[in-house]
Amino acid sequence: MSFEPVPPQKLKLADILPYLLMAVSGLLAVVILLLMRSLILAILFATHVNVWAWGAIDKFSFILLAVLWLVFVLFSHHYYERGLEQHLLWPRFWKVSGIEVLVITLILICLIIVT
């Protein structure tokens, strides 16, 4: 039995890249989360919902959106890890980012319509 220390493996960019892309996707998702919160509040104002209900609706919707954000971040990391194995990392990243930008655009259009 040998008691030689095992040399640490060197970290490669390919090992870190899915985490970096997940962070970028997560930041875009935070923008979506905050815009969705603004849209919900604008809809509440436009539909004349009872002012006393605003606080509860705002807090519960924010918690739900935060849980969805967490699920999205975990899914995107898994999606990017599998994409790295299949040599499809960049197409997958651009697809996810494109969908996020499209969602941001749609939310902004809805905000313009509602306000």
Q: What is the pLDDT of residues 33-62, one digit of tens each?
A: 999 999 999 999 899 888 888 889 999 999
pLDDT of residue 48: 85
DSSP 87: T
Cβ neighbours for 90, distance < 8 A, ≥ 6 positions apart: none
Flag whether pLDDT at 95 surpasses 80.
yes
pLDDT value at residue 89: 93
Q: Which long-range contacts (CB under 8 A, 24 or more apart) does 109-113 make?
A: 110/39, 111/35, 111/38, 111/39, 111/42
pLDDT of residue 14: 78
Domain boundaries, the chain: 20-114
Whole-angstrom distance, CA of residue 30 vs CA of residue 49: 26
Res 2: pLDDT: 66
Task: Compute the average pLDDT of residues 23-28.
Answer: 97
- Cα 40 to Cα 62: distance, rounded to the nearest angstrom: 10
Residue 8 Cα to chain centre, angstroms: 33
- Reported confidence tier of residue 1, pLDDT bands at 50, 70, 90: low
Structure tokens at 4: 């030689």
Supply the pTM of this predicted model: 0.85
Mean pLDDT of 78-106: 96
